[in-house]
Each structure stands twice: as C-alpha cells, then as structure tokens.
C-alpha cells in the first residue's frame, strides 16, 4: 500500500508532530510505502525528517468570491502521478484545498480533522457579518463538492470534533466519519519514576503562545500561589505572538524568578521529567497531545475545560478538570494535590496507564485498518 500524507508545512505544532510520527512508524511496516508532502519548505523538525521520503511541492488554491479562483497545483499533481498512492491523507485546511483540487481515480481520500474547521460551518446570520465568514462559506461549498466526488473519509480526533462533523457535513458524508484519537510515542516520554517535592511545585505548560492557549491565566494562578506563600515555578514551552504579553504580566507580578521561557524546544520530554505537575489553560483544545505526553511522563494534570480534552483528563482520576477560569480555584487544587502523597501517586499512576492506550504503534494499526476498509 502506498500512502501519501500532505500537510501545509512542518512548523512547530501538534498536527505536524503527529504526521511525522505516523510516517516514521509506517516506515517500519512491511508492505507500506509512505511519502510526506508539504506545501512549503519550512521545517522545524529536520532531525525527524531525515529518514522520511519528504518533498515540498509549492502548490496552493486561493478561492475568490469576487474573481477567478487562483490555483497552482501542478507540483502536487506531478508528485501524485509519479508516486501513484492508494491513499491520500490530508492534514489542515490548505492541504485539503490542494489535495482535492484535482481528483485522482482509484485513490482513497482521508481528511484528518485536527480541530473543528470553521470553513465547514453551515450558513447562518453570522455568515454575512464579515468578509472572512463569507470567504469561509465559499470555501465550504468548494470543498464539500470535492469531498462528495472523492467519497472522502474523515478522522475525528475527539468526541467534540466527531459531533461537530456530524453537525456540519451533508448526510451523504456522515457515514464516513470515524473517531480516532491522536497518539504519541509513549516510550519517548515515559519515565520510570517521578520525585515529587512538596517544598517546590514544578509546573510545566506546553503550547504556542496564541490567545486560545491562555498562558496569561497560568500567570494569574502563579500570582495566587505566590500570595499564598507557596513555593512554585512554571516553565512555559513554546513560542508565539502572545509571549511578550505573558512576559510583561509575569514582570508586573514580580514573578520573573519563578517563571522561565525556554521557547520551542526539541527535548520536551526532558522538561516534563524535571517537572512534577502539568497545568493546561487552553480555552479551546481540539484534543491535547501535550496532555498525553505529560501523562506518559507521570505528571498529573490540572486542566481547564477546552472541550476536546474532555476525552483525556478524567476529573479526580488522572488529574483535576476545572470548568471555570478561576485562578484561586486552580491554586487551591494545585496545593491540595501536591500535599497529598496518596492522591498524587494515584493520579500519576493512572495518567501513565491511560496514556499507554494512545501509543503510536497501536494508532498506526488502527489507521491502516481504516485505510484498508475504506471504499473509493
């Protein structure tokens, strides 16, 4: 079986890491040939792509509601014609547009829904309120037509996304939606033991510095802990447009010596193994690979409800799942957990056992089964 994975680029992100893990695992399987195609050359994971058949194709599709759609897909089409894939598996919306612009017979098409794609929203009174909404709706009509013609199959990464797809897709495509949670390389993150210090709480948080990741809220939580006289530190892993705002708030509260910003790092697992608690503050989380990585490292989770992460964080079992953005409540939960040896061990052990279920080896088994069972 020949499988072509397509994603816009290899910038830092959960979707990009998952695609690379899929390709690496599939390379270990007999009878499977995998090719990774990106629409741009940018690659933040050069150390992971060395053993992968990877090619950039510089293709794009830019629909227009006022003029003719601009498209250049010859690069991608040439790759498909040469590689002759049995499956084209697309990730993120611009890859959807390019991979469906020209349809190839006898190819099984899969769309990986890493979030609730706003371009699939049905028409409503909100549609006409902005040019962006109108453009999204135009793109929806374009891509749904291609989905129907290619009998596209959909992979939902969470129950929330599964529900969303069944709400926005036409009835003819709903039977093609399958729930398959994302995965991690469990052995990479698993740690035999974690030493927990009551004297110092070592928190870690991973994610791009964008508004929905809500790192400012964790600074508020840290401020509460500091006022309570609790010794705690937090390491923010990631980069992005909101970082300077978070740094300024950290300085305003006088927390600079308790908060560190290493940026986007290659060895996330090393930072997880040095921490003893993972706090997740995203207001919207399609799934949460970072949560599984932390769990595999033995870290209990304290998380805000981001919808998609409801599948991962089980309240009072592998962590605390908190529906309201209340810094005092978060601080209290952190303190209560870190002062309870028995509960900490219970959460930690459950976190490790739970994350084992999301190992990339089992995931690829399921993915290959979906490919083989899908109709054209």
pLDDT digits (tens, 9 = 90+) for 333-370: 999 999 999 999 999 999 999 999 999 999 999 999 99
Q: What is the pLDDT of residue 119?
A: 85
Confidence of residue 69 (pLDDT cuts 50, 70, 90): confident
For residue 302, the enclosing domain spans 186-356
Q: Among residues 8, 20, 74, which one has the least CA distance to residue 45?
A: 20
Percent of the chain with pLDDT over 90: 86
Q: What is the pLDDT of residue 139?
A: 86
Q: Tell me, yes or no, whether 227 and 350 share the same domain.
A: yes
| pLDDT tens-digit series, residues 113-144 | 999 998 888 866 665 556 666 766 778 888 99
Q: Tell me, yes or no, whether 118 and 107 share the same domain.
A: yes
Q: Tell me, yes or no, whether 238 and 294 share the same domain.
A: yes
Which CATH number belongs to the domain containing residue 179 in this structure? 3.40.50.2000
Q: Tell me, yes or no, whether 20 and 116 share the same domain.
A: yes
Q: Tell me, yes or no, whether 251 and 292 share the same domain.
A: yes
Q: Tell me, yes or no, whether 348 and 365 share the same domain.
A: no
Q: Residue 195: CB partners within 8 Å, gap ≥ 6?
A: 276
Q: Tell me, yes or no, whether 91 and 194 share the same domain.
A: no
Q: Among residues 349, 290, 339, which one has the least CA distance to residue 318?
A: 349
| pLDDT tens-digit series, residues 168-224 | 999 999 999 999 999 999 999 996 655 556 678 999 999 999 999 999 999 999 999
Q: Among residues 130, 129, 127, 153, which one has the least CA distance to residue 141?
A: 127
How many domains does the structure of the chain reveal?
Answer: 2
Alpha carbon distance 205, 222 (integer Å)? 12
pTM tops 0.85: yes
Q: Tell me, yes or no, whether 193 and 179 share the same domain.
A: no
Q: Tell me, yes or no, whether 257 and 311 share the same domain.
A: yes
User: 27-63: b or e for each residue (b if 16 or more CB lie within 10 Å)?
Assistant: eeeeeebbbbbbbbeebebeebbeebebebbebbbeb
């Amino acid at each position: 079986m020949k499988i072509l994975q397509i994603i816009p680029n290899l910038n830092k992100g959960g979707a990009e890491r998952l695609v690379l893990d899929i390709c690496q695992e599939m390379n270990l399987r007999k009878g499977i040939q995998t090719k990774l195609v990106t629409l741009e050359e940018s690659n933040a994971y050069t150390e992971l792509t060395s053993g992968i058949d990877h090619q950039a194709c510089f293709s794009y599709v830019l629909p227009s509601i006022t003029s003719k759609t601009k498209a250049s897909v010859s690069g991608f089409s040439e790759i498909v014609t040469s590689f002759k894939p049995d499956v084209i598996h697309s990730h993120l919306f611009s890859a959807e547009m390019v991979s469906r612009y020209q349809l190839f017979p006898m190819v099984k098409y899969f769309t990986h829904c890493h979030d609730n794609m706003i371009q699939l929203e049905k028409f409503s009174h909100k549609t006409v309120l902005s040019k962006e909404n109108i453009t999204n709706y135009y793109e929806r009509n374009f891509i749904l037509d291609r989905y129907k013609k290619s009998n596209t199959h959909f992979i939902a990464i969470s129950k929330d996304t599964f529900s969303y797809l069944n709400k926005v897709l036409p009835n003819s495509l709903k039977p093609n939606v399958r729930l398959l949670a994302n995965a991690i390389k469990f052995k990479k993150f698993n740690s035999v033991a974690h030493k927990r210090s009551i004297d110092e709480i070592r928190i870690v948080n991973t994610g791009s510095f964008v508004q929905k990741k809500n790192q400012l809220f964790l600074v508020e939580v840290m401020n509460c802990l500091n006022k309570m006289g609790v010794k705690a530190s937090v390491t923010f892993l990631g980069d992005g447009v909101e970082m300077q705002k978070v740094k300024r708030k950290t300085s305003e509260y006088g927390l600079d010596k308790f908060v560190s910003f290493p940026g986007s790092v290659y060895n996330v697992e090393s930072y997880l193994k040095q921490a003893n608690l993972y706090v997740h503050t995203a207001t919207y989380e399609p799934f949460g690979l970072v949560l599984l990585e932390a769990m595999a490292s033995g870290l209990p989770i304290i998380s805000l409800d981001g919808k998609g992460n409801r599948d991962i964080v089980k309240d009072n079992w592998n962590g605390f799942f908190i529906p309201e953005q209340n810094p005092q409540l978060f601080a209290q939960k952190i303190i209560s957990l870190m002062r309870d040896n028995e509960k900490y061990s219970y959460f930690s052990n459950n976190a490790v056992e739970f994350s084992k279920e999301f190992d990339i080896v089992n995931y690829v088994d399921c993915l290959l089964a979906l490919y083989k069972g899908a109709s054209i």
